[in-house]
Amino acid sequence: MLWKEIKTNFSLLGISVGLKTRIHDKAFIGMGCEIASNVKIEERAEIKRCKIGSHSRIRYGATVSTRCWIGENVEIGSYAIIGPRTTIENGCRIGKNVIIGSDCIIKHNTQIKAGVRICQKTIIESGEIVKESR
């Protein structure tokens, strides 16, 4: 994999990137993003104007839409789509091909299994394991 050297001054683009963060060369990071330390963003991931907490991982081909907040130790699976203004709190695991609508709140330590669809304005309580679409 080709990883961008995070020595570039992203501040000119309104992008803040923490220490030891790895961003694949073929990932897209939009203006206004705030990415904490020890984050890994894989190939073809698309991050648009959002905040990502430390030790989180955005896998291959995932999309995180505008004005989202991603907590610490969150993993977002390949090809997952996170809708605008969605909050994903610390410790969550979002499976492959999951689609989460806009304005959702996914509370701490929740697991959303592969292929699940979450409708807009849904709140998922802490610690839930979501196996079916809502």
CATH topology (fold) of 3-130: UDP N-Acetylglucosamine Acyltransferase; domain 1 (2.160.10)
* Alpha carbons 49 and 126: distance in angstroms, whole number: 25
pLDDT per residue as tens digits for the range 68-79 = 999 999 999 999
Sketch the domain layout of the chain as residue ranges: 3-130
Nearest to 91 by CA among 124, 66, 62, 60: 124
Q: Is the pLDDT confidence value at 3 over 70?
A: no
What pLDDT sits at residue 11? 67
The pTM is what? 0.90
Q: Are 11 and 29 in contact (CB under 8 A)?
A: no
